[in-house]
Structure 1
Amino acid sequence: MVLETEGLVLRQTKYDEWDKILTIFTRNNGKVQAIAKGARRPKGSLVAGTQVFSCSDFLLYRGRNLYQVNQADMIESFFSLRDDLYKLAYATYIIELVDAGAVEELANVKLFDLSIKTLRVLSKLNKDYKKLLAAFELKYISFIGFRPHLRSCVVCNSELGSRAKFSSEQGGTICENCSSGYYGHVVSKEVIRKIEELLYIPLDNMDDLSISLKEIDIIEKLISGYIMNHIEKRNFKSLEFLKSLEE
């Protein structure tokens, strides 16, 4: 079986002297594992297209246990992300999340396009990294099937008042009348509105969204906790590193 597809390299592991095993998030076939023979040779034809963060057109041959990379023509390297420590930390966390949320050989075109778009926007960004991350996280968790319920109470479906609880366990917002029976973080209706705006705003239009540093800190903590409650992976080294940079 031969597979031709666009793919984003999420991880690489050394294998033998000149080879490496890749985790590739493909546009057409979801996440796959592939061996890239000779990809660690300095002048090898697969070097550029098989680096982490690289988006490439891949020609993959299905072997017994792994795909084999026969060709990798780079589309975008996102190499500039490596020139800034903050951008690198954010980008690494983003692809770790994608790796955790993508399913082996199950296409998720929305998540794929979101991943590429986020890296593209991040590579050109000079500020507001956390705002971009929060928007990515909200779209990401929605595209893997866990969109938070925001427009009414998730318990009774009534309209929210001036304050509400945001509950990861219940999957969204809880009104004041129902809040006593559920664990969550109390937030203002304005913060809930900002979360909804981040969820739906196109990433190219992030500058149009006015949001304070205090609000984005609150939202990012809420959404990070929400994500950890809905995916199997709990520990992200890149997230811990990111927190250490911002202390």
Structure 2
Amino acid sequence: MTTVKGLVLKEIDSGESSKSICVLTAELGVIYIYVRGGRKSGKTASSTQALSYSTLCFEEKRNAKGQVSRYLNSSEPVKLFYNIRLDAKKVALAAYFSEMLIYCGTEGEDHTEVLRLALNSLHFLNEDKMDPELLKCVFEFRLLCEIGLRPGLVGCANCFSYESEPMYFDFDRNCLECADCCQDAENRGLMALDKTMLYLVRFIALTDYERLFYFKISDRYLEKLNFFTERFIACHFKHRFSTLEFYKMMK
């Protein structure tokens, strides 16, 4: 038997009474676990529903081709994020978080920091401790940073200058260029970052989790940050997130 703590990202019906759950774990990455009778059993209902953070005990079986299947033996909820379920807009945003985590997640890799980001984001959404739009931006950009797409933000990629007014972000090269080095910024599709935007981008990408969610910005900069994070995602992922479109319809 294997026991892990994991965040249930998705439930998938299987047959008349069973289901599979997609789970984000620190040790194993994103895995799937089969829950026999999971659609009818009250014993596992709360701990295996989407957005539940639970302790999961399962057995593994390997077929002739070496493929591993996991079957739930027992489970216990740790955190249910109950308040999210009471607000349709929160549910929509949490569903977007889950879709991104499934898309980015891989099995067999350490996802400790990704799980930490997911749990913190759901906590702040559950407790109304952060503007949902700002929380969305933080989650989007930091998630990509945690999976290996953190851009070069220390300074200009050409001359290593720490800052200029403005700095330009190159989405294709995933780096900064200072005003002196940058040429033909508009035609190259670069985004100008003033000192405030530069600070925000660096803060979200580089600060520790003890400080990451404790800041506020004006509506003007929130609009700019939202444009930046969504473009950053579009540049790296050739994928249409249907849950994001649904969330925007709810606003």
Fold equivalence (TM over 0.5): yes
Q: Give 1:203 deviation, angstroms.
A: 6.2
Cα deviations across residues 177-235 of structure 1 (Å, max 9, x unaligned)?
Answer: 3332543222312211122223326366644x24111111111221122123234x511
Partner Cα distance (2:210, 2:128) in 1 = 11
Report if the CA contact (8 A) 1:6-1:28 is conserved: no
Partner in structure 2 of residue 239 of structure 1: 244
Partner Cα distance (1:73, 1:210) in 2 = 36
Alignment of 1:141-160 (within 5 A): 141-160=144-163
1:245–1:154 Cα change, 3 Å: farther
Q: Give 1:124 deviation, angstroms.
A: 0.2
Partner in structure 2 of residue 223 of structure 1: 229
Partner in structure 2 of residue 167 of structure 1: 170
Partner Cα distance (2:163, 2:142) in 1 = 22
Partner in structure 2 of residue 33 of structure 1: 32
Report if the CA contact (8 A) 2:4-2:57 is conserved: yes
1:172–1:80 Cα change, 3 Å: same
The alignment of Structure 1 onto Structure 2 pairs a total of residues equal to 242
Alignment of 1:204-215 (within 5 A): 206-207=213-214, 209-215=215-221
Partner in structure 2 of residue 81 of structure 1: 84
Alignment of 1:107-118 (within 5 A): 107-118=110-121
Partner Cα distance (1:245, 1:45) in 2 = 33
RMSD: 2.0
Cα deviations across residues 93-119 of structure 1 (Å, max 9, x unaligned)?
Answer: 111111122211212111111111111
Q: TM-score, normalised by structure 1?
A: 0.90
Partner in structure 2 of residue 49 of structure 1: 47
Q: Give 1:237 deviation, angstroms.
A: 1.1
Structure 1 runs of 4+ aligned residues shifted over 6 Å read none
Q: Give 1:11 deviation, angstroms.
A: 1.2
Partner Cα distance (2:235, 2:71) in 1 = 35
Partner Cα distance (2:159, 2:36) in 1 = 56
Mark the runs of 5 or more structure 1 residues left unpaired by the alignment: none
Partner Cα distance (2:73, 2:231) in 1 = 40
Partner Cα distance (2:84, 2:204) in 1 = 23
Partner Cα distance (1:35, 1:44) in 2 = 16
Mark the runs of 5 or more structure 2 residues left unpaired by the alignment: 63-67
Cα deviations across residues 146-180 of structure 1 (Å, max 9, x unaligned)?
Answer: 11222311244223311122222111322223332
Partner in structure 1 of residue 209 of structure 2: 202
Q: TM-score, normalised by structure 2?
A: 0.88
Partner in structure 2 of residue 103 of structure 1: 106
Amino acid aligned to 1:141: L
